[in-house]
């Protein structure tokens, strides 16, 4: 077993947060190495945000083709070829991984395609190479993995990671879970022609989101033909002679599906890394406990990204990794995410949200004002089945500060990015009101809402 000369930083995990931290540290002049046992890019690039968004685009063309006829276009029936899509998607993911590697190499980061374990507070062991490397600082950025339930037949469960490897588009799919992963994939495959069902333990979809968003998405999903089974999860799965699966739910309902995808959350990747053995403290879910500077209970070991199980979003991990390396090696004090964190759910219709939900605001603020609008966007004017857009502002009635913005509709993710700038700057409802609208657009509704909803009485 050989020992490498002492590095300034060793990063375990080649996802977005780890790669950004490694690159920035190297650009500050630090001697940096990074280890990744799979593919660079992490969950987002390899099996998450990027391939999922490509699938979203593929599914939405169905509606585009259908609605174009109302605008005067005529063409033969459109068909979708899954193998063509997969080949294109796989090629794009491979290109992005090469770009991640190239960026690291150009920055002077040493790359190890190996599994890395923490041996001591300043030593990393590369398992396959059977080699130890010392570093002044260690950053753990190993991300997360899908959580799986335990019941009879659970070995038949697939996860969201497996969806991208389907040989063909399934005719029948059951998604288990009511969070954003389940609803995104259910929406995608419903648009690709799959008979789609969602079973979820909670009483409604998208728990934690504003209730108006949940209600709106449920209505749109039912109109699309997606079957929703609330307050139920899987009791057992049995494979049938036909190759499909007989699924018994906890409400005694029996379903026959071609595949069952579990999307009931994710767990931090901290197992078998040697963390607890060297004294790194974890919480009950296995997440690494860190302070505001992302330092663990061991002063030389840091952690960023999903492995700390806070705001599990790629931009948050990137900012944290960047800020950490700026502080450690550039003597630059940079705060992490400033203001409320915006997020999007890439269902169809799309969800964009930033700030507090109405329910959360009412728990904290004495006087909450609500402005809400639901309308048919212009693009859907000719459609036989018109989709509806929802927009909502949550306002502190005492300070007039906008506490939350919620959008369900076309390009909601794009709209909410700009709304998050306003909330980060502390915009008031009066600021929104005096902003000139861009007409005709859907987003102009955010600055033209004047009628406040009457508060519900007990």
Report, as ranges of residue numbers, the positions in the chain whose pLDDT lies below 50. Answer: 1-3, 456-458
CA angle centred on 423, ends 56 and 341, rounded to 5°: 50
Residue 195: its pLDDT value, please?
A: 97
Q: How distant, in Å, are the alpha carbons of 68, 79, 214, 415 from that of 76?
A: 12, 9, 37, 34
Give the predicted TM-score (pTM) of the model.
Answer: 0.93
pLDDT in tens, 260-300: 999 998 999 999 999 999 999 999 999 999 999 999 999 99
Residue 53: count other Cβ atoms within 10 Å of its Cβ.
16
Count, in order, helices (H) and strands (E) of the chain: 12, 22
For residue 126, the SS3 value is strand
Phi (first) and psi of residue 399, to 5 degrees: -95, -15
Residue 75: its pLDDT value, please?
A: 86
How far is the first Cα of the chain from the last one, in angstroms, to the nearest whole number?
A: 72
Contact at 8 Å (CB) between 258 and 245? Answer: yes
* Omega of the bond leading into 349 within 30 degrees of 0 (cis): yes
Contact at 8 Å (CB) between 309 and 283? Answer: yes
Residue 383: its pLDDT value, please?
A: 74
Say how far apart CA 383 and CA 66 lie, in whole Å: 9
Q: What residue has token string 């603020």?
A: 365
Q: For the stretch 334-358, what's the b/e string if a residue is b when 16 or more beta carbons lie within 10 angstroms of its beta carbon?
A: eebeeebbbbbbbbbbbbbbbbbbb
Q: Active-site positions? A: 439
- Within 13 Å of residue 280, how many CA atoms lie on the same side as its CB? 34
Residue 318: its pLDDT value, please?
A: 95
> What angle do helix axes 82-107 and 16-27 make, rounded to 10 degrees?
30
Return the closest-CA partner of residue 133 out of 64, 209, 35: 35
Report all structural domains of the chain as residue ranges with CATH numbers, in order of start: 3-146+267-330 (3.50.50.60), 154-264 (3.50.50.60), 343-448 (3.30.390.30)
CB under 8 A, 24+ apart: contacts of 239-245 = 239/153, 239/156, 244/172, 245/153, 245/156
DSSP sequence for 314-336: HHHHHHHHHHHHHHHHH-----S
Two structure tokens written together for 33: 């190495």
């Amino acid at each position: 077993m050989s020992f490498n000369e002492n590095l300034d930083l060793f990063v375990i995990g080649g996802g977005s947060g780890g790669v950004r931290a490694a690159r920035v540290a190297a650009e500050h002049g630090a001697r940096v190495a990074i280890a990744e046992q799979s593919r660079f890019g992490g969950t987002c690039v390899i099996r998450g945000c990027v391939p999922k968004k490509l699938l979203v685009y593929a599914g939405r063309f169905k509606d585009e083709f259908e609605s174009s006829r109302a605008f005067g276009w005529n063409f033969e029936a459109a068909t979708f070829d899954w193998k063509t899509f997969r080949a294109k998607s796989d090629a794009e993911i491979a290109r992005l991984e090469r770009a991640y590697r190239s960026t690291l190499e150009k920055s002077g980061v040493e790359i190890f395609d190996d599994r890395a374990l923490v041996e001591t507070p300043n030593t990393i062991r590369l398992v396959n190479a059977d080699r130890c490397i010392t570093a002044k600082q260690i950053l753990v950025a190993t991300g997360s993995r899908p959580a799986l339930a335990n019941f009879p037949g659970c070995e038949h469960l697939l996860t969201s990671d497996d969806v991208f490897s389907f040989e063909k588009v399934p005719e029948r799919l059951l998604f288990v879970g009511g969070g954003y992963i389940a609803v995104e994939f259910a929406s995608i495959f419903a648009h690709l022609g799959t008979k789609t069902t969602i079973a979820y333990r909670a009483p409604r979809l998208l728990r934690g989101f504003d209730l108006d968003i949940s209600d709106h998405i449920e209505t749109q999903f039912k109109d699309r033909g997606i079957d929703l089974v609330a307050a139920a999860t899987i009791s057992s799965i049995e494979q049938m002679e036909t190759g499909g699966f007989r699924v018994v739910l906890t409400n005694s309902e029996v379903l026959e599906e071609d595949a069952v995808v579990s999307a009931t959350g994710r767990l931090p990747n901290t197992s078998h890394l040697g963390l607890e053995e060297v004294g790194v403290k974890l919480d009950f879910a296995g997440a690494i406990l860190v302070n505001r500077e992302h330092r663990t209970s061991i002063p030389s070991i840091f952690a960023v990204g999903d492995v700390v199980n806070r705001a599990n979003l790629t931009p948050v991990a990137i900012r944290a990794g960047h800020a950490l390396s700026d502080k450690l090696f550039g003597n630059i004090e940079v705060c992490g995410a400033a203001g409320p964190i915006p997020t999007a759910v890439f269902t169809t219709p799309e969800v964009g949200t930033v700030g507090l939900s109405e329910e959360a605001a009412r728990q904290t603020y004495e006087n909450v004002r609500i402005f809400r609008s639901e309308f048919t966007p212009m693009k859907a004017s000719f459609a036989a089945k018109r989709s509806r857009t929802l927009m909502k502002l949550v306002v502190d009635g005492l300070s007039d500060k906008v506490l939350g913005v919620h959008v369900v509709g076309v390009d909601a993710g794009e709209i909410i990015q700009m709304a998050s700038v306003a909330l980060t700057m502390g915009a008031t409802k009066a600021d929104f009101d005096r902003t000139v609208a861009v007409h005709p657009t859907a987003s102009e509704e955010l600055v033209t809402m004047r009628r406040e909803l009457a508060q519900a009485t007990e």
